[in-house]
Amino acid sequence: MSYDTVREQDPAVADALSGERRRQNDTLAMIASENHVSEAVLEAQSSELTNKYAEGYPDERYYGGCGHADTVEQLAIDRAEELWGAEHVNVQPHSGTQANMGVYLAMLEPGDRILSLELEHGGHLSHGHPANFAGKTYDVEQYHVDPETGYVDYEAMREHAEAFDPHIIVAGYSAYPRDIDWEAFREAADAVDAYLLADIAHVTGLVAAGVHSSPVGIADFVTGSTHKTIRAGRGGIIMCHEGYADDVDAAVFPGGQGGPLLHNIAGKAVGFGEALDPAFEEYAQQVVDNAEALGERLQEHGLSLVSGGTDTHLVLVDLRDSHPDTTGKDVEESLEEAGIVLNANTVPGETRSAFNPSGIRAGTPALATRGFDEDACREVADLIVEVVDNPDDKQVTSEVDDRVDELTDEYPMYE
């Protein structure tokens, strides 16, 4: 891949593009929702399919000239069905939020009731935050994690469902380090005759590889993003039982979107194909092993992890016990200067604000993609702690940055 043509045409954009490539090469991407796609996915995403209109679905389009578009979309669908064992797949949602919107539009009327996890406890805007269309359109109440254990309080969730009588229960999160008891959600949903939506946006890749439990076949609807742990480029996906297929397809197009982004769907097809290779299972296991190693080392240094550890690709650090005067934002900013990019995050029982919260969230999907193993992640934990202990010390930041440079040289990306 080269940006030579962009450079001739548009130096300002070319500078930003090559700057971004350099940034990804030279820093550690530890935002838990990020990853690095392969050169093949990049190439597919920048293909001429960006020019093609293909409203409709394979073999049922509203436009001519869709033969290759049909091939690409059908490959993405077939591979997704195989990866996750789903009966029906829609690969057109432009993002994870649009995937959730597709399910809501398919099954709910405005004013219907959604029961979902509180955003501050690890939920997502599209699960019904007041600032999001879901919060504005539906009647939303929220369940919580147990503030003592950091695990979803399944019993309280079920009691809440019985009291609120939701039309749909949403499970699956953005900042939750533990596996999920999908059956407990199924039982709660059945008890009140509600649909169950499992939003596996963060863990699509882990579920596909079998290193995180799968809601497919348990939940009525499974939504996901395609750019996080599954490494198939920016986008969303919906899976469901065959019986809901027509409703879901009609809700995505024409219900909530126009023509599909076929260049993105080409990226999905290529990324899903890569994930069907047995090597992807090793990758996903490495992601989880790395997060565990990272988390254990952070704990050895005295940091507190929400839920006491992780089963997934991320750890959530609550700074209040070990560093009561340091906020997540302080740490995020100092770490970025040192070349480690992660995000400040709210923690259960948050006592600061969403903008300047008390925690940090750190993920390992992108590190594992560039080849980091457990030892390398333990070293990253040591570097993070150096900065957490000395957030305002420029000397420390600069020493950590030097070590990050050595690590990124050792594990290069996009050369």
What does the binding site for ligand PLP look like in residue numbers (CB under 6 A)? 33, 95-97, 124, 126, 172-174, 199, 201-202, 225, 236
Least distance (Å) between residue 377 CB and ligand PLP: 22
Least distance (Å) between residue 98 CB and ligand PLP: 7
Q: How far apart are CA 302 and CA 52, in angstroms?
A: 54
Least distance (Å) between residue 192 CB and ligand PLP: 22
Q: How far apart are CA 274 and CA 280, in angstroms?
A: 7
Give the CA angle between residues 381, 384, 386 to the nearest 5°. Answer: 110
Least distance (Å) between residue 236 CB and ligand PLP: 6
Residue number, nearest CB to ligand PLP: 96
For ligand PLP, the closer CB: 95 or 290: 95
Least distance (Å) between residue 6 CB and ligand PLP: 25
For ligand PLP, the closer CB: 24 or 97: 97
Q: Which residues have CB under 8 Å from 77's CB, separation 6+?
A: 58, 89, 90, 91
Least distance (Å) between residue 95 CB and ligand PLP: 3
Q: How far apart are CA 315 and CA 333, in angstroms?
A: 18
For ligand PLP, the closer CB: 27 or 225: 225
Q: C-alpha distances in angstroms, 278 versus 275, 288, 403?
A: 8, 16, 33
For ligand PLP, the closer CB: 124 or 263: 124
Establish how many alpha carbons lie within 13 A of residue 151's alpha carbon, considering only the half-sphere containing its beta carbon: 14
For ligand PLP, the closer CB: 31 or 387: 31
For ligand PLP, the closer CB: 201 or 319: 201
> What's the sign of the alpha-carbon dihedral 127, 131, 134, 137?
positive
Q: C-alpha distances in angstroms, 390 versus 2, 55, 261, 341, 398?
A: 40, 54, 45, 17, 12
Angle between helices 154-164 and 182-191 (to 10 degrees): 20
For ligand PLP, the closer CB: 97 or 326: 97
For ligand PLP, the closer CB: 222 or 319: 222
Least distance (Å) between residue 59 CB and ligand PLP: 28
Q: The tokens of 77 are what? A: 């669908």
Q: Which segments within 13-159 are labelled E, that is strand?
A: 28-29, 56-57, 60-61, 88-90, 113-117, 139-143
Q: The tokens of 139 are what? A: 């009647």
Least distance (Å) between residue 227 CB and ligand PLP: 7
Least distance (Å) between residue 202 CB and ligand PLP: 5
Q: How far apart are CA 93 and CA 76, in angstroms?
A: 13
For ligand PLP, the closer CB: 199 or 318: 199
Q: C-alpha distances in angstroms, 265 versus 45, 70, 297, 319?
A: 8, 10, 39, 40
For ligand PLP, the closer CB: 66 or 239: 239
Buried b (16+ CB within 10 A) or exposed e, 378-415: bbbbebbbbbbeebeeeebbebbbebbeebbeeeeeee
Is 25 in contact with 404 (CB distance < 8 Å)? no
Peptide bond into 93 cis (omega under 30): no
Least distance (Å) between residue 15 CB and ligand PLP: 26
Q: Which residues have CB under 8 Å from 289's CB, separation 6+?
A: 373, 374
